[in-house]
Structure 1
């Protein structure tokens, strides 16, 4: 196991290369490619619906109002040498004034990220948060304080997205992926390691239509409609699943990494015997996956769970802190009625929902004992958990008509528990959202974004009680 860098405390590296903005024609060319690729399928709706390669992806069925809790002083989050502004720390859930009247279909952030992506019910992408590496996709690296529209993506219908520490992936209804932001490790998948990609650029991948995307801190994952998994970016801890950490020496004392600049298929999945001997697992069709800062967990069609990457604090669930360079079966969930249905990753921990209940492995505190293998979250027993958001150490759960959160100090308001309860090591209900039906939850560094149902009069009454953030 190699020492892991804590994302919240790392100083940003000085860029060695001159910043280079992508040509605006990249989006135009991608649009033409997509339209030409769909031309045959557009001749007949019935033909398109029968062929999974030509069937369009859809936005999630959920529609609602975006609710935000946490810090809106993006440059402050995770930086010890900056002083926070009290008015920009929101310890209670708030609506965002700029999104008034805009119904949202999808929201996402990441445990290592200080930015979020919002997708409206029309499939338009908007961004919010830190923009030091161009991750907001608006054509520059200037500090942005409000909700930004990704104008260069206006010709596309965006159905999903994922973010890493400083980069963003956008998935369109045609199964194409666009990326922007930090690319020094190749995590944008465009075939280069240009330091920054200022506006969304199509990734270098034409093998098949892509159905889902996810990001780690400095790497990315995609799956195609056949269930094949591909990864690109930084391989430092084996998180790409290619049986290597990519290390090589430039000189006798200078270490570097062989970055994956374009998506590369993860070829094999294994299970290990007690003596460590690996045996290939056959018939693996990935249906879902999640990435922490430096690890990945995936679920296949048989509800088997595999994990790989940085093994510290037991976040891989193998009862040992060893790094895994190949996707390894989590034996705890292998067996009849033990399959995993949903998976969520924080920086140093993982949460899985199975028929047996809700389990956590890894470490959610900065000190103390870690769970080296999956252990049940007894406090959530009996709750119908709908969605989970995982931050560096905080957890926010949407269950029944409530939101439950916990996390140790320091926090930035991402728990939404109020001024008087800024942190909690035990799960507590978020009183401001009592009775609210929260459909999606995603945590970033120091903030949480939620999609709250707004269909009924009761829903609207609960939302009206929340104050607005003016950005």
Structure 2
């Protein structure tokens, strides 16, 4: 793309963001098949491990007709519709990139095992991925220590494998958490599998499942949407009611307390709202209504709920936007949140330490702040930097425990751990799966 990103275009064209996705500490936006990244490490796809404080064009995917993009914790995927090709990049441990190995990749590479397959949706968890084809088939790959791949084993998979348990079942959509996975079928059935210690599978217990298991019908409702947080799950019924279940130490279930739920429980605070979109962060949740109102709740240490404070919220609170703009799309990262308004403005808030908010700095923000370079009321994407832009210098290495504020191995309810509930300070302990050697 001649002159793209350098401001050298003779007639720069305004573009609009059509899709957003947030990972652990990075963000990606899709502008009419032109992919941008902002955040840190190789998951940005710019060919290096440097941070970018402003959205930057991923040059390797220019002209590839990218129609969807999904962020995992430390990796990213993008799908080319015309090429029938899925691309992935970022950290590669446990085979999460689907390339047949565990190598890191710093620019988009094709997932050859899925070439030629029409993919409807991709879900990325912490270290695993799940893909739904247009025919309703499901394939998974990556880390599998708790059965989150649904293959009947606990062995990691370096390549995509078909989930045989869904043979004869048409899957509509999937969602991936840290170590668990959920799915909704065309018939409105809800499934869960993988790590279930906090009831996040919705099956009434705390056991893991190695293959998908159907969640008992809730109030006779058929489910149409599902999203996973790190250790909690959110689902929406055909009557537009929202249900949550799983871990709630930080109020991320939204039921007015900090208690776990082992089965889907209706969120009464939003029962009079028509919910059209949902997203789960590491320990916070977001829900969008049909009239463009956005509600958030849960962990809020970095302002990721977006309501102007840094206090955890165990019930939904409406997120306000300048000039009462209505929201059209939402995506939760681990500690930050992205939104697109109907006016085609892009907002971000929460943790900004790696530049994942796209504001040109590393400052946290506890209310929605417009990303000027991407927004219609800003630069309208007319002057975008390319992947040739140098990453920021002077980056200080941060240990995994500091970077992710890892949750300790807590005792389950009924046992006394001595840890506070809600707004508690986690003990920072290393997570061995993130220690790079």
What TM bracket, shorter-length normalisation? 0.7 to 0.9
Out of 267, 282, 298, which is 1:362 matched to? 298
Question: Which residue in 2 is equivalent to 1:268?
Answer: 217
Deviation at 1:285, TM superposition (A): 0.9
Report whether the alignment pairs 1:418 with 2:337. no
Deviation at 1:130, TM superposition (A): 1.0
Deviation at 1:62, TM superposition (A): 9.1
The CA deviation string for residues 162-189 of structure 1, in whole angstroms up to 9 with x for no partner, is: 0111001111111111111001111111
Number of residue pairs matched?
352
SS at match of 1:372: strand
Kindly tell me: are residues 8 and 150 of structure 1, through their superposed partners in 2, closer, same or farther at Cα, counting changes over 3 Å?
A: closer
The CA deviation string for residues 8-64 of structure 1, in whole angstroms up to 9 with x for no partner, is: 79xxxxxxxxxxxxxxxxxxxxxxxxxxxxxxxxxxxxxxxxxxxxxxxxxxx9942
Out of 333, 346, 349, which is 2:270 matched to? 333
**TM-score, scaled relative to structure 2:** 0.75
Kindly tell me: are residues 263 and 436 of structure 1, through their superposed partners in 2, closer, same or farther at Cα, counting changes over 3 Å?
A: farther
Kindly tell me: are residues 96 and 436 of structure 1, through their superposed partners in 2, closer, same or farther at Cα, counting changes over 3 Å?
A: farther
Q: Which runs of 4+ in 1 moved over 4 A?
A: none
The CA deviation string for residues 142-181 of structure 1, in whole angstroms up to 9 with x for no partner, is: 1222211011111311121001110011111111111110
Counterparts of 2:321 and 2:265, CA distance in 1: 29
Question: Which residue in 2 is equivalent to 1:198?
Answer: 158
Counterparts of 2:384 and 2:213, CA distance in 1: 48
Counterparts of 2:41 and 2:351, CA distance in 1: 20
Report whether the alignment pairs 1:405 with 2:324. no
Question: Which residue in 1 is equivalent to 2:369?
Answer: 428
The CA deviation string for residues 254-276 of structure 1, in whole angstroms up to 9 with x for no partner, is: xxxxx21111001132xxxxxxx
Kindly tell me: are residues 216 and 98 of structure 1, through their superposed partners in 2, closer, same or farther at Cα, counting changes over 3 Å?
A: same
The question of whether the paired residues in 2 share the 8 Å contact of 1:95 and 1:469 is answered with no
Question: Which residue in 2 is equivalent to 1:211?
Answer: 172
Kindly tell me: are residues 99 and 312 of structure 1, through their superposed partners in 2, closer, same or farther at Cα, counting changes over 3 Å?
A: same
The CA deviation string for residues 222-270 of structure 1, in whole angstroms up to 9 with x for no partner, is: 1111010111100111000000112xxxxxxxxxxxx21111001132x
The question of whether the paired residues in 1 share the 8 Å contact of 2:89 and 2:108 is answered with yes
Q: Where in structure 1 are there 5+ consecutive unaligned residues? A: 1-6, 10-60, 76-85, 247-258, 270-280, 438-457
Counterparts of 2:39 and 2:217, CA distance in 1: 40
The structure carrying a bigger helix percent of its residues is 1
Counterparts of 2:105 and 2:278, CA distance in 1: 32
**TM-score, scaled relative to structure 1:** 0.70
Report whether the alignment pairs 1:127 with 2:76. no
Task: Identify the structure with bigger relative contact order (alpha carbons < 8 Å, sequence gap 6+).
Answer: 1
The question of whether the paired residues in 1 share the 8 Å contact of 2:244 and 2:266 is answered with yes
Root-mean-square deviation (CA, aligned residues, Å) is: 2.7
Report whether the alignment pairs 1:137 with 2:98. yes
SS at match of 2:278: strand
Kindly tell me: are residues 332 and 404 of structure 1, through their superposed partners in 2, closer, same or farther at Cα, counting changes over 3 Å?
A: same
Out of 212, 229, 232, which is 2:190 matched to? 229
SS at match of 1:88: coil
SS at match of 1:432: helix
Out of 307, 314, 318, which is 1:372 matched to? 314
Kindly tell me: are residues 378 and 124 of structure 1, through their superposed partners in 2, closer, same or farther at Cα, counting changes over 3 Å?
A: same
Deviation at 1:392, TM superposition (A): 1.8
Deviation at 1:366, TM superposition (A): 5.3
SS at match of 1:422: coil
Kindly tell me: are residues 181 and 469 of structure 1, through their superposed partners in 2, closer, same or farther at Cα, counting changes over 3 Å?
A: farther
Deviation at 1:430, TM superposition (A): 0.9
Question: Which residue in 2 is equivalent to 1:298?
Answer: 235
The question of whether the paired residues in 2 share the 8 Å contact of 1:405 and 1:430 is answered with yes
Report whether the alignment pairs 1:466 with 2:385. yes
Counterparts of 1:244 and 1:214, CA distance in 2: 20
Alignment of 1:72-91 (within 5 A): 72-73=41-42, 88-91=50-53
Counterparts of 1:355 and 1:74, CA distance in 2: 32
